[in-house]
Chain A
Amino acid sequence: MSLRTRQIVGLACLLLLAAAMCLLRVLITRVDGGISLAWPEAGIAGFRLTALSVGAIVGCSLAVSGVLLQALLRNPLAEPFILGISSGAGLGVMAAMYLAYRLHGPGAGGEERLAPAIIGALITLAAVYALGQRRGWLDPVSLVLVGVIVSAICGAGIMFFQHLVDTGLRGQFTTWLMGYIPEAVDVWVLRLCAIIALIGLVVGGVMGRAMDAATLGDDEARSVGLSIGPLRVAMFGLAGVLAASTVALAGPIGFVGLIAPHLARLVLGPKHAALVVGAALCGIAITVGADVARQAVDVGAGRMPIGIFTAIIGGPAFIWLLLSGRGQS
């Protein structure tokens, strides 16, 4: 099978998988003692379609962000959550939520999350990038370690803000921090995040060849004609904004940015133009699929955070990548 045929067939399969998960998300309903599949009533359908849109946007953005980071850092373990970008965005959002709480009282939810999330994500990304270098070279292991440490520092900041608010609001903060697909979102936020996801997808696809060349060392990438410096800054910025938009919508959701590119690679191969699209479809399938699983599993009180499901799949996948050697750059 030629590479092109493999890519077309692979993309069609991933599209079917993502579509199936999206359909399930709309149809699945928890009933007494089990689940049923049926088209929801008009009132409920709107909520489900909003949750589906959020899940699809979050999955697509996290996956594309993961592909960009893995290509530009030459590190297959890179993803927004592991590199601390999600935590940085989370800290930005928490700071904004706390500020809203202080200024307007306990009722204020800090709805303006997108801007603080983007600022937090970009500052974290710049810090991890700067600290992950050794003698001017990006060291893959240092990068992951720095990401973990920066993530821990941001986590401490998040806990600090949690500590400062009332107990009731603290619970709301905690739920959001575990990854939560909402069924009601401001339309303009949803549209803006959808536009960011679309830009990420299109730019990622168009820059596929450049990302292929970026997998060479810096000197070699430059010698085959790639302006690696400007590309890296632009793609990192895009990856940071993509990750930040997901945090603003659904809180920090881990591992989707790691698993989706690797799954797409298994199906489509390593060329980035197809990989970006395939990873986006995988990201949608995983995130919406996790939301379906959350709907299906009835444990504890209220809705389970989606981050639990992505971490259950993503944690072992990360260890497998590390031990199998696929995580080596």
Chain B
Amino acid sequence: MSLVIDNLGFSYGRLSALRGVSVRAEPGQLIAVLGPNAAGKSTLLRCMIGALKPTAGQVLLDGRTVHRLSPRTLAMRIAYVPQRSIVSAAFTVRQVVELGRYALPADHRRVSESIANLDLSDVEHRAYRTLSVGQQQRVTLARAFAQLAPDGVMVLDEPTSAMDLQHASRALELLAQAARAGTTVIMAMHDLSVAAMAASHAWLLHRGELAAEGATCEVLEAQRLQRVFGVGFTWIKDGAGRPRLLADPPALAAGAYNATP
């Protein structure tokens, strides 16, 4: 499913959060939405899922305006993962994942698969609210996988920010698999090094505008990143010869933390 963002603008009252953003996402792409704090990443994602009605422009899903689609229709096409999901009832992990099938026919096998894929089988019957934030993020991701149509769109807002390295890596691997199977994956994230490794494409936002978009390695150009983030970046090659992006924050470079291995 292709998602077209056409001259999108959004304001919170007088505060303009997005201006003139035009970009498109195609099936099979894993897109990292990048930018400093308050660049407009979450606002862009919320416009994409129809939660916010744009004040200018539009978001089109296969040619249809997203915010005019009913929630049921949207749920069959777009799965959403917020940065942190708060569930007010004392549901178990499995019950939370089953909510992903609310608008769709029940599919117990799919729910079980999603739980197993996110390494949650051992806490399947535990109350969601008793889990750590990282585990809760995995549950929310499992819910989105239980909901997702193979040719659908997955919109994620920093889905791995609280996960440990092993589970974050597993989650990114699952997202890459979904993209290879035809899903359009659009994911806001802060870790540029991870984005450089995981994403096929990147959208770079700066002060509510699109600063760059395209293949990840082209968007993450060191001078551009310096200009947008105010921090130096360096591309290096690791032991296996693969390119790696390293940040060089001034405070760290000045030896504020003088850690030695």
In the assembled complex, the CB of A274 is this many whole angstroms from the nearest CB of chain B, namely: 13
Contact present for A219 and B49 (CB under 8 Å) = yes
Is the beta-carbon distance between A227 and B88 smaller than 8 angstroms?
no
The 8 A CB mask of B86-115 against A (1 = contact, 0 = none) is 111111000100011011100000000000
A225 and B102 in contact, given A217-B85, A219-B49, A220-B85 (Cβ under 8 angstroms): yes
Q: How far is the CA of A222 from the CA of B72 in the complex (A)?
A: 8
Task: Please indicate which of the listed interface residues A213, A215, A265, A329 has the most CB atoms of chain B within 10 Å of its own CB.
Answer: A215
- Contact of A191 with B by CB under 8 A: no
Q: In the complex, are the beta carbons of B49 and A222 less than 8 A apart? A: yes
Query: In the complex, what residues of B have CB within 8 A of residue A76's CB?
Result: 88
Chain A: how many interface residues by the 8 Å CB criterion? 26
CB B187 to nearest CB in A, in angstroms, measures 15
Report the minimum CB–CB distance from A162 to chain B (whole Å).
Answer: 38
Do A222 and B51 have beta carbons less than 8 Å apart? yes
Among B50, B82, B89, B100, the one with the most A-chain Cβ atoms within 10 Å of its Cβ is B89
B-facing mask of A25-69, CB < 8 A → 1, else 0?
A: 000000000000000000000000000000000000000000000
- Which secondary structure dominates where chain B touches chain A? loop
Given contacts A222-B74, A223-B71, 5 further A-B contacts (CB under 8 A): A71-B88, A223-B74, A225-B72, A225-B75, A265-B90
**A272 — which chain B residues lie within 8 A by C-beta?**
89
Q: Does B46 contact A (CB under 8 A)?
A: yes
Do A213 and B102 form a contact, CB below 8 Å, given A224-B147, A227-B71? yes
Interface residue from B71, B75, B79, B99 paired with A212 (Cβ < 8 Å): B99
Residues of B that sit less than 8 Å from A by CB: 46, 49-51, 70-72, 74-76, 78-80, 82, 85-91, 95, 99-100, 102-104, 143, 147
Q: A222-B49, A223-B80 are in contact. Are A75 and B88 (CB under 8 A)?
A: yes
CA distance A225 to B76 in the complex (A): 8
Complexed CA–CA distance, A224 and B81 (Å)? 10
- From A215, A222, A224, A228, contact of B91 by CB (8 A): A215
